[in-house]
Amino acid sequence: MITENEKISLPKIDWALDALEPYISKEINDLHINKHHVAYVNGYNAAIDALEKAVGKRDLKSVVEIQQNIKFHGGGHTNHSLFWKNLAPVSKGGGKHPDTSSALGKQIVAQYGSVSNLIDITNSKLAGIQGSGWAFIVKNKQNGGALDVVTTANQDTISAPHLVPIIAIDAWEHAYYLQYQNVKLDYFKAIWNVINWAEAESRYSA
C-alpha cells in the first residue's frame, strides 16, 4: 500500500523477460516493464514532489491538476504491479487452472460452471472496452466471496474496499500491439496460457 507522499519503485518481477514466450514476447515485456511501467513510477514520484510545492504555494489550480496525474500514474503502477504478479511461465504453473476442490476452484464452478466459462466471460468484457483499460476478476467480500468481472477505463483501479482484485488483464495497446498488432482478441485468448492461478488462489483466500 502506498502511504501519503511515499515514493514508489518498480516491483520485483518473478520471471525473465522471455519466460512468457510464445504467448507474450520478450520485446513486449521489455517495453512494457522497462518503459511503460517505469514511466508510471517516474510520473507518480514527480507528481508527488510537484504536489508538495503546489500545496506550499497554495496554488489550488495546480493541486487539482497534479492530483489527476497522481491518480493516473499511481493507478498505472498499482494495476501493473498486480498484472506482473498474476503472470507466470508455463514451466512454473502458468495457465494451470485452480483445482476444483480449492476455495477458488469451488467458487468458479458454483458460479460459472468451469474456468473456461469464466475466461470466456472475461474475454468478452475485455473486447468490450472502448479505448484503453483493464479487466479484473474480483472477489466480493460483502457477498460471501462471490466472483465478478469488472472493467475500468485508462489506469483506474478497483477502488471499492469490498472488492479484491485477484486477476488483472491489461487491455492497453502497449500490452499486445508489438506481437498481436490490431488482433487484440488473439492476445486476450493467449494470455490465459500464462495466468498465475496459484497467485489468484492466494489472493482469493487471503
- Residue 80 assigned ligand-binding role: yes
C-alpha cell at 121: 466471460
Determine the pLDDT at residue 81. 98
Determine the pLDDT at residue 6. 81
Determine the pLDDT at residue 123. 99
- Residue 73 assigned ligand-binding role: no
b/e per residue, 43-61, with b = 16+ CB within 10 A? bbbebbebbeebeeeeeee
Q: Is the distance from CB of 197 to CB of 98 less than 8 angstroms? A: yes
Mean pLDDT per block of 10 residues along the chain (206 residues) reads 73 98 99 98 97 90 95 98 98 98 98 98 98 98 98 98 98 98 98 99 97
Nearest to 138 by CA among 198, 67, 203, 72: 203
- Residue 174 assigned ligand-binding role: yes
Cis peptide bond N-terminal to 22, omega within 30: yes
CB atoms within 10 A of CB 92: 13
What is the CATH T-level fold of the domain 26-88, as seen in this structure? Helix Hairpins (1.10.287)
CB-based contacts of 159, cutoff 8 Å, min separation 6: none
Q: What is the pTM of this model?
A: 0.94
- Residue 170 assigned ligand-binding role: yes
Determine the pLDDT at residue 4. 54
C-alpha cell at 189: 485468448
Q: Is the distance from CB of 163 to CB of 16 less than 8 angstroms? A: no
CA 125, 83, 194, 39 torsion: positive or negative? positive
DSSP reduced 3-state for 163: strand
Residues 140-190 pLDDT 10s: 999 999 999 999 999 999 999 999 999 999 999 999 999 999 999 999 999
Task: Classify domain 92-205 at the CATH class level.
Answer: alpha beta
Give the residue extent of every domain in the chain: 26-88, 92-205
